[in-house]
Structure 1
Amino acid sequence: MVNYLFKQLRFVRGNTIKQVTGMSEEETRTVPRGFNNNILWNLGHILLVHEKFSFALTNEKMELPKHLAELFAPGTKPENWGTQVPSLDGIFLLLSKQIDRIEQTLEHRLEEDLEKPFVTSAGLELSTVKECLSFCLYHEGMHFATIKAIKQQM
């Protein structure tokens, strides 16, 4: 039986991808006035945070190139990007496979306690695997809204 969390993670991820499908690489790299980041940054940030909360915090191996953290970590901006920025297609590919990897790795571990509780930047303490995944839903929803707002400015 598919746990509701994985069903919701797939739903949210599908909507995120659908929101950006059909946009050009150039459009996703544009930072409109009033914003600090672009759509590509938001997608990469979603990818990175899911990876951290689903794998690193649960003592599993993250499967992203290390330089992505330098590009998409909280506080980073496209204006500081160097030359190793992934393409939109590259980010799409990683996003499209991530939820399956999360489910395969964590489907039987949802009730497990984290080795050490984690406190988010918003001040929420996460202490179990399912709490981490639930927070990912909130986080992706926030960035989905930002992506929609950026699109409306274009």
Structure 2
Amino acid sequence: MDFTFDVFAKTRGFFKAYLEELSLAQLNAIPNGFNNNIIWNIGHSIVTEQILVYKLSGLKPNVSDALIAKYKKGTKPDGKATQEEVDELKALAFSTIEHTEADFGSKVFKTFNEYTLSTTGNTLTNVNQAIQFALIHEGMHAGYILALLRALKV
């Protein structure tokens, strides 16, 4: 899993760079033909990793319930994100994945509630699979962010 966590760190580095380098207007912009924006994709990626790994393991996620409600599957941007929200996601980009890696190394994840993925129909049966799929999911949303950047001509 070292490789998986290394890739997570690199992906989160891209997310953090976007949060630092793009304006609030660019982060919030929803170009024609899109249903969401850059900041939503970042928040959704962070929240989804926490849901797949912690909630399905019966543990408390390292993000607030309010953040989960705002960015979980089935949501979309509900207004303009503030600088405070950008700063929160910037802090969570690394802290959440570092916490997950530490908890994985400490064997904190003892149980797992199976979950069938709506996108592929595959069933996650353990935390290793959840972590691996969370990375795949995050890569998909990194691609969406690149498409949004092109549409915004950034």
Asked if Structure 1 and Structure 2 have the same fold, meaning a TM-score greater than 0.5 normalized by the shorter chain, the answer is yes
Does 1:115 find its partner at 2:112?
yes
TM-superposed CA distance for 1:25, in Å, is: 1.4
Q: How many residues align?
A: 151
* TM-score, normalised with respect to structure 2: 0.85
Where 1:153 maps in the other structure, the secondary structure is: helix
* TM-score, normalised with respect to structure 1: 0.85
Residue 8 of structure 1 corresponds to 7
Residue 91 of structure 2 corresponds to 93
Which amino acid in structure 1 is aligned with residue 40 of structure 2? W
Question: What RMSD in Å do the two structures reach over aligned CA positions?
Answer: 2.4
Does 1:18 find its partner at 2:17?
yes
CA spacing shift, 1:108–1:3, aligned 2, 3 Å: farther
- Report if aligned partners of 1:45, 1:73 keep a CA contact under 8 Å in 2: yes
- Report if aligned partners of 1:25, 1:87 keep a CA contact under 8 Å in 2: no
- Report if aligned partners of 2:38, 2:145 keep a CA contact under 8 Å in 1: yes
TM-superposed CA distance for 1:19, in Å, is: 4.5
Which amino acid in structure 2 is aligned with residue 34 of structure 1? G
> Separation in 2 of the partners of 1:113 and 1:104?
14
Residue 146 of structure 1 corresponds to 144
Encode CA deviations 1:23-82: one digit per residue, 9 max, x unaligned. Answer: 01121011111100011111110011011112111222112121112211222121x349
Where 1:148 maps in the other structure, the secondary structure is: helix
> Separation in 1 of the partners of 2:28 and 2:150?
15
> Separation in 2 of the partners of 1:20 and 1:147?
12
Does 1:124 find its partner at 2:128?
no
TM-superposed CA distance for 1:129, in Å, is: 1.1
Comparing both structures, which one devotes a greater share of its residues to helix? 2
Unaligned regions of 5+ residues in structure 2, if any?
none
> Separation in 1 of the partners of 2:137 and 2:129?
12
CA spacing shift, 1:65–1:85, aligned 2, 3 Å: farther
**Kindly, what percent of the aligned residue pairs are identical?**
26
> Separation in 2 of the partners of 1:143 and 1:57?
21
Which amino acid in structure 2 is aligned with residue 115 of structure 1? F
